[in-house]
Amino acid sequence: MPVESMPVAIAGQFALAALLISIILALARLVKGPAAADRIVALDLISILIVAFLAAYSIYAGETSFLDVAIGYALIAFLGTAALARFLMRSALKKSENREKLENMRHYE
Amino acid sequence: MNEIITAVLLVLGSLFSFVAALGMLRLPDTVIRMHAATKAGTLGAGLILIGEAFFYAELGITLRALAAITFLLLTAPVAAHLIGRAAYFSNVKLWHKTWIDQLAERYKTGGYFDPDHK
């Protein structure tokens, strides 16, 4: 059920629409790539946008429990981004041509 | 009064998020795109969360919104750092106008990490 107050309802509808369009734009970058790092950056932005969407929806719907969902989602999204970045780092270090150049930084692996 | 503040913060936050997504689509390379995603995205989400704190004006909601903002502010730079380092070492293509590569001095490579990909 939307909130009674008129300005918040209008601004909430605007914000939800703008955030949906933003998520679609970020999805376009996720599809386009071209490198794996681009996709990880796009996923990171999408997760931040979803946190913003959940917060805006919890104002618009008058349902405070969505705020807890937003906090939990932010936690999981950070873990996902960190795991993907580590995966990319490891696969970059495994390449043979990089290995020679990186002999002095084995502690990063 | 709180409703007006909430409405303004909602509109501002969603506009910043939109600018972040637009930058994600339009900016030329990975590292520059990270700049849009991390800063404008965090600011947009933070403004909307502050708006929520103003709208409900309860202690519990305000504390939870502040916790979410603090968490976003703590994790966004860490995630950006991890992605940026991984992107550098996986040889993403840099924009043709990029001319500073300070990591090259640290790792004693000539110019960009792998000159073959330039």
Would you say residue A103 has pLDDT above 70?
Answer: no
Question: Using CA of residue A27, residue A29, residue A33, residue A35, what is the dihedral sign?
Answer: negative
Instruction: Identify the structural domains of chain A with CATH numbers, from first to last.
Output: 6-108 (1.10.287)
Would residue A13 be called left, alpha or beta, if left means φ above 0 and alpha means ψ between -120 and 50 degrees? Answer: alpha
Which of A:12-51 have CB within 8 Å of B?
Answer: 12, 14-16, 18-19, 21-23, 25-26, 28-29, 34-38, 40-42, 44-45, 48-49, 51
Q: For residue A41, which of B30, B1, B77 has the smallest C-alpha distance?
A: B30
Rounded-to-integer distance, Cα A50 and Cα B51, Å: 16
∠ CA B4-B8-B12, nearest 5°, is 170
Query: CB-based contact (8 Å) between A8 and chain B?
Result: yes
**Over pLDDT 70: what percentage of chain A?**
85
Average pLDDT, chain A: 85
Q: Inter-chain contact B24–A78, Cβ cutoff 8 Å? A: no
Rounded-to-integer distance, Cα B17 and Cα A23, Å: 9
- Count CB-CB contacts under 10 A for residue A69: 16
Span A7-18, average pLDDT? 90
Scanning the structure block, which residue is given the tokens 């994790």? B75
pLDDT tens track for B81-118: 999 888 888 877 778 887 777 777 666 555 555 544 44
Q: Choose the weakest-confidence range: A5-14, B40-49, B58-67, B84-93.
A: B84-93
Burial of B17 (0-12, 13-18, 19+ CB in 10 A): buried
pLDDT tens track for B25-44: 998 888 889 988 899 999 99
Which of B:33-92 have CB within 8 Å of A?
Answer: 33-34, 36-38, 41-42, 44-45, 48-49, 51-52, 55-56, 61, 64-65, 67-68, 71-72, 75-76, 78-80, 82-83, 85-87, 89-92
Would residue B108 be called left, alpha or beta, if left means φ above 0 and alpha means ψ between -120 and 50 degrees? Answer: left
Q: Which long-range contacts (CB under 8 A, 24 or more apart) does A80-84 make?
A: A80/A43, A80/A47, A81/A40, A81/A43, A81/A44, A81/A47, A81/B79, A81/B82, A81/B83, A82/B78, A82/B79, A82/B82, A84/A40, A84/A43
Residue B18 sits at φ, ψ, to 5 deg, of -65, -40
ipTM: 0.86
Q: Specify the pTM.
A: 0.87
